[in-house]
Chain A
Amino acid sequence: MAAHEPALSIRGLAKAFGGKIAVNGVSLDVPAGSFYGLVGPNGAGKTTTLSMATGLLRPDYGQVVVHGVDVWSQPLQAKRLMGILPDGVRLFDRLTGEQLVTYAGLLRGMDRQTVAGRVADLLRALDLAKDAGTLVVDYSAGMTKKIALASALIHAPRLLVLDEPFESVDPVSAANIRDILHNYVDSGGTVIVSSHVMDLVQRMCDHVAVIAGGHVLAAGTVDEVRAGESLEDRFVELVGGRNQAEGLEWLRTS
């Protein structure tokens, strides 16, 4: 195994939904040990790309390899290496938070002692310990996001794929989650996050890819991509579609 083998390698990934092309030939290499940001406007194909990369959505074309394991020809082995936080899916919300994370661990074939210890650690780290016995259906949006993250971390994966992990999470919890993720990367793990908060990605990630209209517009280290500008300005420049502030003259209160 080469030391520089990428944690995740995507080649020519494409998907169309009923004639509408959502992802059109995306290729990406996520280096092992990187903190990789995936940014793009709404509807750019981020969620579709990540779903195909994690084995949740069958691609029309393309190949995905995780640490040398092909996701679509050896799905079970590949999924063992990945922790996934999908966006926009439900959880088994009639379970308590503690039951849900335990369930995620047992589903992966882990033994009971390990699961119990890790569940307690995760709930504490994500500040959910005092609500561990509450049904997930009664959680707030941010708590739901955190419990889903805990379910993705329970088996100590080598690659974490997080789709919009900070949406509706409060600032304190977001900072805690960032710390957890940084520690994870420092210890050799790889993280991919999708987001449309440029500022957050610029501060948190070392690599970034800009996706729009189902294409990769730019990819590389954050410094390469932003080329001296702020990531936000560079993003707007790449993606385009910025309206000059005219046309809403009536929206003036004075």
Chain B
Amino acid sequence: MVAHLVRLKLTLLRNGFRRSPWQLVGVILGGLYALGLLAMLITGLFFLSYTDPATARTAVILGGAAAFVGWALIPLVAFGVDMTLDPARFVTFAVPMPQLLAGLAVGGVLGIPGIITLLAALGQAAAWWQHPAAMIAAVPCAVLAVLTAVVLSRLTTSATTALASSRRFKDASGVIAIVPLVLLGPISFGIMEGLRSSQDFLPVLADTLSWTPLGSIWAVPGDLATGSWGAAAAKLAISLLALAVLAWLWKLSLARALVTPAHNAVASRKAGNLGLFARVPATPAGAVAARALTYWLKDPRYGASLIVVPLIPVVMFFGVSQAGDLTPMLWLGPILAFLLAFSISADISYDNTAFALHLAAGVSGLADRTGRAAACALFALPATVLAAVIPVALMGRWELLPAVLGLSLGTLLSGLGLSSVVSARYTYNVPLPGESPFKTPPGSGVRMMVVQCLGMVALVLLVLPEGLLALAFVLTGQPLWGWLALAVGVVLGSVLLAAGLRIGGRWYDRRGPELLQAVSVNK
């Protein structure tokens, strides 16, 4: 039975690759990246042990405890990260509980996060190469640690199955989880600052953690290396006990999840609230715009990219203010404009087969393109203007405003035109409607990256005129060049937008059924 579950997991993994060679390329690239990080980590530990075993011990304990926390919490916020062995799918099979537990645990290790964690845990043995006993002990400890991590994550998954089946919770957690990810830079910088000012704090924290289940298993080899045999034995006992308790809790919650099918009670609501549909012009393009805007607000896949918008200035400001020079902040407008304009380039992919309604209703390509671009422009335009004005205001250099604004608006308008063409031609594998914004099918990122890079190159060419004028202004300091950049940005941008809507619309009219075919492959 255990072998069956493991084989099921491997088959699912392999079949996933078989559907698209791009996925395989993506996984290989991702794997190489992770392996590179891993090699650096192990080399670091190796050299650290040369100079300072105590520091190596602290690093291993803290890193290990962080890994445990990650394994426990990530399934909570990122639903569908790896639900291939979701307990809910085994409800109808009469698999004996012990075998189901063992199979799910081993299946959980197989998969990129599990394998990387295992390799990293085994790699810590390198830190103890001067102490043979500690190095040998590190291997079983690593296996035990990974098992604990997997059981921990399975426990949170099965304990929150009921919660996870609520759509509202899924939607909210998917969007909110983006915030710490985007702010990773500032947050880790803050932590580093804190650490620098309290260097003595870390060893103390590590020592404390080493007596808790979070750090105990990671501390065993280090304690052996420093000769504290008693402490090592005690910590091993703590770890084993913790694993047993976790496994028991997991068994309980799994048993409960298996007999409590997911349900989703929603209060029904009467008619009368058309929302945005009551506020747009009653034309096909207006309806498309209302629908797209409703999705920006209600679909977590769009919400996730919307919530990034106010965070980007924060991240940039943080990075720039370290150096004390705000000049790079002037790029905020064009960068934000590019991101917002390009965010609609995968619009039809996001629709998935719901796009059939547009096709069945015979919406003209121009109306479809116009509606989607208008929905994006409605918030992207004010956001871009603000992003152009705020840095200039912060620096108090208003003479820069026309050039910056011209480049920003030019980028936004030309970008919207470009996106309107791109999304009528290319579709990507994106998270399906209702899935977590995190659940990118593995490897799909590569194709998206290629299209985005090409798009960026094309956009740079499209905004070259206003870019050159802005450059001329910077070089000469003649205000005339700045004003020319603004005029060209707005006029040329509008022309390119109109052209993009038309060309994209014509492609859409010609290739509607093919687009539907392309998005229906991803399901």
Question: Which of A's residues lie within 8 Å of B, judged by CB?
Answer: 54-58, 75-76, 78-80, 82, 84, 86, 88-96, 98-99, 102-104, 106-112, 115, 119-120, 123, 129-135, 137-138, 151-152
Contacts and interface: CB of A to CB of B under 8 A. Distances in A.
Contacts of A56: 356, 359-360, 513, 516
Contacts of A111: 282
User: Which of B167, B352, B353 has the most chain A CB atoms closer than 10 A to its own CB?
Assistant: B353
Given A102-B277, A133-B270, A134-B266, A107 B288 contact: yes
B299 interface: yes
B49 interface: no
Contacts of A98: 271-274
B167 A138 contact: yes
Interface in B370-398: none
A90 B435 CA distance: 13
Interface residues of B, number: 46
B353 A90 contact: yes
B295 interface: yes
Q: Could you tell me the dominant secondary structure of chain B's interface residues?
A: helix
B32 to A, nearest CB: 32
26 contacts: A55-B513, A56-B513, A76-B362, A79-B362, A80-B362, A90-B352, A90-B356, A92-B351, A92-B354, A94-B299, A94-B433, A95-B294, A96-B269, A103-B290, A103-B291, A104-B357, A104-B361, A106-B286, A107-B284, A107-B361, A109-B284, A112-B282, A129-B271, A133-B273, A135-B266, A138-B266
Contacts of A112: 282
Contacts of B282: 106, 110-112, 115
A235 to B, nearest CB: 29
A66 B301 CA distance: 39
Contact of B361 (A108, A123, A133): A108
B358 to A, nearest CB: 7
A149 to B, nearest CB: 13
Given A57-B516, A79-B362, A94-B299, 14 more contacts: A55-B513, A57-B517, A79-B361, A89-B353, A94-B433, A99-B294, A103-B290, A106-B277, A106-B282, A107-B363, A108-B284, A132-B269, A134-B266, A134-B269
B354 A91 contact: yes
Interface of B: 167, 264, 266-275, 277, 282-284, 286-288, 290-291, 294-295, 298-299, 351-354, 356-364, 433-434, 512-514, 516-517, 520
A219 B361 CA distance: 29
B283 A106 contact: yes
A105 to B, nearest CB: 8
Contacts of A137: 167, 433-434
Contacts of A151: 357
Contacts of A119: 271
Contact of B358 (A75, A96, A107, A123): A107
